[in-house]
Amino acid sequence: MSTIMIVEDDPKINQLLQEQLEKYGFQTVNVEHFDRVMEVFVSKRPDLVLLDVNLPKFDGFYWCRQMRQESNCPILFISARESKMDQVMALENGADDYITKPFDYDVVLAKIRSQLRRAYGQYAPQEGERTVEVAGLKLFLERMELSMNDTKIELSKKEALLLEALMNQYPRVVSRERLLEKLWDEQFVDENTLNVYITRVRGKLKDIGLEGAVETVRGSGYRLRATWEDGQ
């Protein structure tokens, strides 16, 4: 059963979408507090998101960018804003489709099924799963999962990208500049943001019993150390 997250502040439209989706076998997740959209997104890990543009606190474009930092799941905008620029902005910020209100629910359902097939079903890429392994530590990139022996832990998209860079370069140092480029492409971010993700990755590694595995190399960057292998 696929889970659809609905980010829509119009109670009537929200309820109708929920009823239609559940009628056809989908599980729905609704957002009640629009300053906590990402908390719901990260905790529920939906298979697809229906996202309005006009929302309290921050608009849908902002939330779309935040979601794209964590996941590649399909995102469909549903909005009364019909301008070409709004549609372009939605796609440029990471959306997969844009549906204007008022909409036909059959069309919405068809687009949802199409996106789910494309992402997870018969039209999904069939290449072998990408993995990176260092001394028994294995990163599953599509699943965003890290495993060591029989212990597994889930990662966010940024955490997976960060570990991919460190594992691919093992045992060499990866510069801060290279990590910033890989994680945020050409977007400007404060370097402290990278520090936050390094801390998160260290925490995830600690959760599976690997402490001290990400070493800070002053003036250069970071490197992965197989401390679990050499007993250090």
Same domain for 89 and 63: yes
Does a structural domain hold residue 68? yes
Same domain for 38 and 13: yes
Q: Any idea what the CATH number is for the domain that residue 56 is in?
A: 3.40.50.2300
Same domain for 177 and 85: no
Last residue of a domain, one of 58, 91, 118: 118
Last residue of a domain, one of 118, 150, 181: 118
Does a structural domain hold residue 177? yes
* SS3 sequence of the chain: CCEEEEECCCHHHHHHHHHHHHHCCCEEEECCCCCCHHHHHHHHCCCEEEECCCCCCCCHHHHHHHHHCCCCCCEEEEECCCCHHHHHHHHHCCCCEEEECCCCHHHHHHHHHHHHHHHHCCCCCCCCCCEEEECCEEEECCCCEEEECCEEEECCHHHHHHHHHHHHHCCCCEEHHHHHHHHHCCCCCCHHHHHHHHHHHHHHHHHCCCCCCEEEECCCEEEECCHHHHCC
Number of domains within the chain: 2
What pLDDT score does 61 carry?
Answer: 94
The reported pTM is 0.61
- Tokens representing residue 131 in the block: 């993995």
Same domain for 36 and 97: yes
Same domain for 136 and 96: no
Same domain for 198 and 167: yes
What pLDDT score does 137 carry?
Answer: 92
Last residue of a domain, one of 87, 118, 149: 118
Same domain for 94 and 187: no
Same domain for 99 and 40: yes
Given a cut of 50, the residues of the chain with pLDDT beneath it are 232
Q: Domain of residue 69: give its range.
A: 1-118
Does a structural domain hold residue 46? yes
What pLDDT score does 184 carry?
Answer: 75
- Tokens representing residue 91 in the block: 């796609």
Same domain for 32 and 107: yes
Hey, how many other C-beta atoms are within 10 angstroms of the C-beta on 7? 25
Q: Any idea what the CATH number is for the domain that residue 150 is in?
A: 1.10.10.10
Same domain for 60 and 166: no
CA dist., res. 154 & res. 144, Å (int): 6
Block residue for tokens 């492409």:
185
